[in-house]
Amino acid sequence: MKTVDLRNRIWRSEERLIYLSKRGEILSKEFEEKVKEIVEEVKKRGDKALLEYTEKFDGIKLTPETLEIPYEKIEEAYDSIEEEVREALEIAEERIRSFHELQLEKSFFKEEEGIILGQRVLPLERVGVYVPGGKASYPSTVLMNTIPASVAGVEEIVMVSPNPNKYTLAAAYIAGVSRVFNIGGAQAVAALAYGTETVPRVDKIVGPGNIYVALAKKLLFGTVDIDMIAGPSEILIIADESANAEWIAVDLLSQAEHDELAAAVLLTPSEVLAEKVRKNIEKILPTLPRYDIASKSLNKFGTIFITEDLLQACEVSNTIAPEHLEIITKDPWSILPYIRHAGAVFLGSYSTESLGDYVLGPNHTLPTGGSARFFSPLGVYDFLKRTSLLYVSEKGFKQLGLLAERIAEAEGLTAHALAVKIRREK
C-alpha cells in the first residue's frame, strides 16, 4: 500500500492521484471484439449460440429445456438454507423494501386556463437482473437489484446467473423474482437484450458482472436500457486522529478482498493514524482467506494520502469520486457539506460499509470508477418511465398559438408554423 504526502504540494498534479482518478478506464480494448462477436452470435442464432457459449465459458451443458431453473428448485433452495441465514435475508428484504418505497414517484397534472399538462409515471414491463454466480454467492445482489424493481411495480423480473447456489436462489424467492435462467457472461446479457427462443427480451438490464458483462451492457445500451457500467468495488475513508486505526484497516481490506482491481484509499491529516493503519493492514492481511486478491488490490490501487487538513481531504475525495465514502472524524456531519461526489456516504465509526452492503436499506449497486460524478445509486426511479401528457382547448390554443408560430418561423420550420397557422385562421 503506497503512502503519498500531499502537503505543501500542487496536489492535483500528483501522479498517484491521477492514476486513481483514471481507474474507470479498465474496459480494455482487447476484450471488445470478443464481446461484440458473442453478442452478434446470440442475436443471430439465439438459443443455439447461448448454449454453446454457456458450455464453453461456464462449463454448463444445457438444453433449451434446462436453461430455465424451475420454480420448484427455487422454492427448495429457500427451504434448505439455514434458518438464521433465512431470517437475516428476510429482515434485509424488509429494510431494503421499506427504504425504496420512499423513492416512489407519482403522476401529476397541472391545469391552466384551457390547458392541462401532466406527467404519467409507469413501471417498466420486464427487466433483467444479472447476478454473478459460480463459486461466489451474492444473495445481497439479488435483493438490491430486484426489490427496487418490485417496488416500482415491474410486472416481470428475469434473473440470470451461472450456476447459482442455494443462497442466491433463496434470495430470488424472497425478493419475488419471476424467472431464473442458469446463464451468465456477455451471452446472457445479449440474450436478455435481444431475446431468444427461450429467454424473453427485457426493457432494462441491471446488476454487476465481470468485464465481459460490463462491455456487453455498454455495447447493447440503446437496444436495451442499463443501470450503469459497473467496475470493481472501491472504498475511500476520510479520517482524523480520533479514528480507530484497526477498524479503518479492516474496512479498507473489506473492499480490497473483492477484486484484484478494487481500490482502497485513506485520506488523513494525521501521520500517526496513517502509520497505525498501515501496521494494522500488514498484521491482518496475511490472515485473510482472500489474501492473494487483497494484496494485489492494495499493491495496484491501495493508497494512504497525508493531507494538509480535512478540507483538502474532501477536495481529493471529490476528485476521486468514490463508490463508498466513509467519514470517520470527530464530527462527520460537519464534513458532509464539502462532499459532492460519492456513491454512498457512511458517517461515523460504526457506519461500516459492510452494513450498507447487506442490511441498512439503501442500495449497494453504486457508481464506480469515478462515475459518481454523474451516476446515482440504483433505485426505484431506474425502473420507472415518464410520459408527458398535453391537452389544449381552443381557448388555450388562442393564448399560445401565435407564440409557437413565431418560434417555428425563426427556426425555419415552415410546416411547424403552418400546423399552428391553419388552426389560428380557422
Give me the active site residues, please: 323-324
Residues 6+ apart with CB under 8 A from 177: 74, 129, 142, 146, 157, 158, 159
E-strand spans in 10-79?
68-69
**CA-to-CA dists, residue 63 to 40, 47, 137, 197, angstroms:** 20, 9, 24, 12
Q: How far apart are CA 216 and CA 211, in angstroms?
A: 8
Name the amino acid, one letter, at 9: R
Q: Name which of 177, 136, 127, 139 is nearest 385 in CA terms.
A: 127
CA 199/CA 68 separation, integer angstroms = 8
What gap in Å lies between CA 405 and CA 277, rounded to an integer? 68
Q: Spell out the residues 6+ positions from residue 4 whose beta carbon is closer than 8 angstroms to its own.
A: 14, 16, 17, 303, 304, 305, 306
| Spatial distance between the Cα atoms of 335 and 240, rounded to a whole number of angstroms | 11
Triad 284, 287, 288: Cα angle to 5° = 95
Query: What's the rounded Cα separation, in Å, for the pair 315 and 171?
Result: 39
Q: Is the alpha carbon torsion for 369, 375, 378, 383 positive or negative?
A: negative
